[in-house]
A and B are shown apart, each in its own frame.
Chain A
Amino acid sequence: GAVVSQHPSWVICKSGTSVKIECRSLDFQATTMFWYRQFPKQSLMLMATSNEGSKATYEQGVEKDKFLINHASLTLSTLTVTSAHPEDSSFYICSARGGAPETQYFGPGTRLLVL
């Protein structure tokens, strides 16, 4: 089946630094990519939706200047957490939609810990 990869799988950084997370669809072209955040023992919350070559659509309450999303190609999307703070520590999961029939596939997640 289709595979979505994320890199890195986990990252620890100091407060104030920026962190970039990559999401790749490995064997299909993703027309749409989604970024979710999951806090401990909670469900996935959609942060933003992006289509290749266009600006991302952010959910209410998600700061677009803090969570920069770039969907440069049909197989790659990046999420940059700018000036990360401890409250940004979370599990970030990307998802890519594509293939035939069109299906949404999920990446393995990236755990971010901001000290």
Chain B
Amino acid sequence: KQEVTQIPAALSVPEGENLVLNCSFTDSAIYNLQWFRQDPGKGLTSLLLIQSSQREQTSGRLNASLDKSSGRSTLYIAASQPGDSATYLCAVKGTGANNLFFGTGTRLTVIP
């Protein structure tokens, strides 16, 4: 069964810093990988989706990379802002799976 792990579990950075969130998965046979943002008590907002054939995706200050062979993905946030404070979840969809497997999340706090 696919297992998804995110490191670190929590991260605090001062405003303006660049930061990297990590995601690793045990089964490299994935269909795609997705990064989500979740604000406290709220649902999920999709940030970036990387297909298995892609290496990275960019949206504004966010850049996600995928190394399928090593079972890793990173989410890079440039010039962090207090509004970026949230929990970030990565999720993978296996080639033979119908659903998403979610990571444990990284709780980010950007200090003004």
A interface residues (Cβ-Cβ under 8 A, vs B): 6, 32, 34, 36, 41-46, 49, 91, 93, 95, 103-109, 111
Instruction: Tell me whether B43 is interfacial, beta carbon within 8 Å.
Output: yes
Shortest distance between the CB of B43 and any CB in chain A (Å)? 4
Q: Whose C-beta in chain B lies nearest to the C-beta of A36? A: B102
Find B44's partner among A42, A45, A103, A106 (CB 8 Å cutoff): A106
Contact residue range for chain B?
A: 10 to 19
Dominant secondary structure at the A interface: strand
B interface residues (Cβ-Cβ under 8 A, vs A): 36, 41-44, 46, 49, 89, 91, 98-100, 102-105, 107
Q: Which of B36, B44, B46, B104 has the most CB of A within 10 A?
A: B44
9 A-B residue pairs with CB within 8 Å: A6-B43, A34-B99, A43-B89, A43-B102, A46-B100, A91-B41, A93-B43, A95-B100, A109-B42
Interchain CB contact under 8 A, B98 and A43 = no
Shortest distance between the CB of A28 and any CB in chain B (Å)? 15
Interchain CB contact under 8 A, B103 and A43 = yes
Given A43-B102, A43-B103, A111-B41, 16 new contacts (CB under 8 A): A6-B43, A34-B99, A42-B104, A44-B44, A44-B89, A46-B99, A46-B100, A49-B99, A93-B44, A103-B49, A104-B100, A106-B36, A106-B43, A106-B44, A109-B41, A109-B43
